[in-house]
Amino acid sequence: MNVDAATSADIHLRVEGRVGHATLDRPQALNALTYHMALALEQALDGWAADPDVSMVLIDAAGDRAFCAGGDIQTLYHTGRSGDLDYGRRFWADEYRLNLKIARYPKPYVALMDGIVMGGGVGISAHGSHRMVTERTMLAMPECSIGLVPDVGGTHLLAEAPGFLGEYLGLTGTRLVAADAILAGFADVFVPSDRLGRVIETLIESGDPESITRFAEDAPEGKLGKDLDRIDRIFAADTVADMVELLKPDPGGWAQATLKALNHGSPLSLACTLQLIRDARASGELGTALRHEYRYVSRCMQHGDFLEGIRAAVIDKDRTPQWRHRGIGAVHPADVAEMLAVPPGGDIEV
């Protein structure tokens, strides 16, 4: 991989003051994370960890629309359609190693989550030690709608959310504003976007992530707080099919919107996501969650709905995916067990 090219074209890596500063620089693609960018970031993090002149890491992004809208799914689609399944498996394995490295980083890791934050963007921000959101933040993990599962350690984050909120967010792909992201455990503090320039300047000058608190304030009210009781009642169910049955009799707007969101996802992805979140809650270990997520993604092109989901959403944009299972109730426990079994080559090392 040409890491130098990635550094100059797609991600800007430099030391400023006592800060190792990484800026995602693909604003035309909503700063979607390419394989080259992930490798370049990991290389920089390794160097900064060993550099006594670097006190902390700061990651942000060019433009004001997105921090990172996810991984480079178009490349994954085209390589998968060509029959090259190894590219995606290598990308996911290396990306997951990066996610765990961020979570275990020996120095403060500050993520400025301004704008859209989805999928792979969550993986390089929400595992950090200091996570800022703004009034422009829109965070979501909508992977079930494209035949994937919340990955990059997303099932671990979802499992750590209050009650059964993680199941709700992972299965429906619900979008979170700043206060909701903080409530769900994906972020720590709210900073108005017009203060970000001063935050960055202060961090570079001081090398002290605690200086962020000077710029933070209470986030504008979110949407999730009032729904927690009914979320827990519905999403504590044993299966997605059971959740659907609990929602069907309720004519209310929330119930019907939730039902629509569930029916929008790949039935196989939904069933596997529920299992992965519950396994992640039982283990409590990010590394275990990443290994289990990899079991799914290693099979998702050949035996899952990923290629069809991307075709319908991104390539042809007809929004009419033909999922392998014709309905949520058509997925059997054996289907889930097959997708989440140890891969033929063994679990990945993360």
Lowest-confidence segment of 4-8, 63-67, 245-249, 251-255 by average pLDDT:
4-8
Active site residues: 71, 120, 143, 151
DSSP string, 284-336: --HHHHHHHHHHHHTTTTTTSSHHHHHIIIIIS-------SSSSGGG--HHHH
With a CB cutoff of 8 Å and minimum separation 6, the contacts of 215 are 191, 192, 195, 198, 199, 202
Looking at residue 137, its pLDDT comes to 98
Per-residue pLDDT, 9: 79
User: What is the C-alpha to C-alpha distance for residues 350 and 59, in angstroms, rounded to an integer?
Assistant: 22
Q: For residue 313, what are its two tokens?
A: 């959403």
Q: What is the pLDDT of residue 147?
A: 98
pLDDT of 3 strictly over 60: no
How large a percentage of the chain has pLDDT more than 70?
A: 98
Q: What is the mean pLDDT of the chain?
A: 96
What order of strands is seen across the sheet that includes strand 66-68?
A: 66-68, 116-118, 138-140
Distance CA 204, CA 266 (A): 44
Confidence bin at 345 (pLDDT 50/70/90): confident
Long-range contacts of 7-11 (CB under 8 A, 24+ apart): 7/40, 7/44, 10/34, 10/36, 10/37, 10/40, 11/37, 11/40, 11/41
Spell out the domains of the chain, with CATH numbers in brackets.
3-140+177-214 (3.90.226.10), 225-339 (no CATH)
State if pTM tops 0.85: yes
**Residue 133 forms beta bridges with which residues?**
113, 190
Residue 8, pLDDT above cutoff 60: no
Nearest partner of 173 among 269, 75, 93, judged by Cα: 269
Q: Calculate mean pLDDT across residues 144-161.
A: 98
CB 178 within 8 A of CB 190: yes
What's the rounded Cα separation, in Å, for the pair 171 and 174?
Answer: 8
**Residue 102 · residue 261 · CB < 8 Å:** no
Query: Which of the residue ranges 272-276, 298-302, 345-349 would you say has the lowest mean pLDDT?
Result: 345-349
Per-residue tokens: 26: 């693909």
pLDDT at 287 over 90: yes
Using only C-alpha atoms, the chain has a radius of gyration, in whole angstroms, of 20
Predicted confidence at residue 131, as pLDDT, reads 98
Supply φ then ψ for residue 56, to 5 degrees. -160, 170
Length in residues, the chain: 350
